[in-house]
């Protein structure tokens, strides 16, 4: 069981740290639908038309260290994205492992 968990963690770290750098920069389906009806300039800024994207705003965590799938303060885009993914995997694994450990130790209710 321990080898399986370590193997899974290593695969997740590899995917998050390396493969995530090759993700598409194109808008996903929801982003594409929100942009329909607007016109854009060469810098991808809305210049006219009407679409849902005109109402978009930065979210409350836009200034956080891991915002926009990259680690703030690192100039290399691939390194910033990879480190952000690795941190995300480690935090998720720690939270999931901690919850599993706590719940596993609870006594069973007879019934």
What pLDDT score was predicted for residue 111? Answer: 53
Alpha-carbon torsion angle 97, 11, 26, 80, nearest 10: 80
Residues 89, 50 share a domain: no
Q: Is residue 7 part of a domain?
A: no
Q: Is residue 22 part of a domain?
A: no
17-60 pLDDT, tens digit per residue, is 998 878 777 768 888 899 999 999 999 889 999 999 888 888 88
Residues 71, 53 share a domain: no
Q: Is residue 8 part of a domain?
A: no
What pLDDT score was predicted for residue 16? Answer: 92
What pLDDT score was predicted for residue 69? Answer: 82
What pLDDT score was predicted for residue 70? Answer: 85
For 61-98, the DSSP string reads TTTSTTGGGS-TT---HHHHHHHHHHHHHHHHHHHHHH
Q: Is residue 15 part of a domain?
A: no
What pLDDT score was predicted for residue 10? Answer: 94
Residues 79, 97 share a domain: yes
Q: Is residue 49 part of a domain?
A: yes
- CA distances (Å), 15 to each of 2, 12, 37, 61, 106, in order? 20, 5, 36, 24, 34
Q: What is the mean pLDDT of residues 8-22?
A: 90
Nearest to 21 by CA among 63, 82, 73: 82
Residues 91, 52 share a domain: no
Residue with structure tokens 């963690």?
9
Q: Which of 20, 38, 57 is the last residue of a domain?
A: 57
Q: Which domain holds residue 106?
A: 66-111
What pLDDT score was predicted for residue 47? Answer: 92
What is the pTM assigned to this prediction? 0.69
Residues in the chain: 111
Confidence band, pLDDT 50/70/90 cuts, at residue 7: very high
Q: Is residue 75 part of a domain?
A: yes
- Total number of domains in the chain: 2
Residues 101, 74 share a domain: yes
67-86 pLDDT, tens digit per residue, is 888 888 899 988 999 999 99
What does DSSP assign to residue 37? Answer: T
């Amino acid at each position: 069981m321990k080898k399986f968990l370590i193997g899974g963690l290593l695969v997740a770290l590899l995917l998050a740290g390396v493969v995530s750098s090759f993700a598409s920069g194109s808008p996903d389906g929801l982003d594409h639908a929100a942009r329909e009806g607007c016109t854009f300039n060469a810098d991808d800024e809305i210049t006219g038309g009407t679409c849902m994207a005109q109402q978009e705003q930065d979210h409350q965590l836009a200034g956080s260290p891991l915002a926009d799938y990259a680690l703030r303060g690192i100039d290399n885009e691939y390194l910033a994205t990879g480190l952000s993914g690795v941190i995300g995997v480690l935090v998720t694994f720690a939270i999931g492992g901690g919850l599993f450990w706590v719940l596993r130790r609870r006594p069973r209710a007879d019934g």
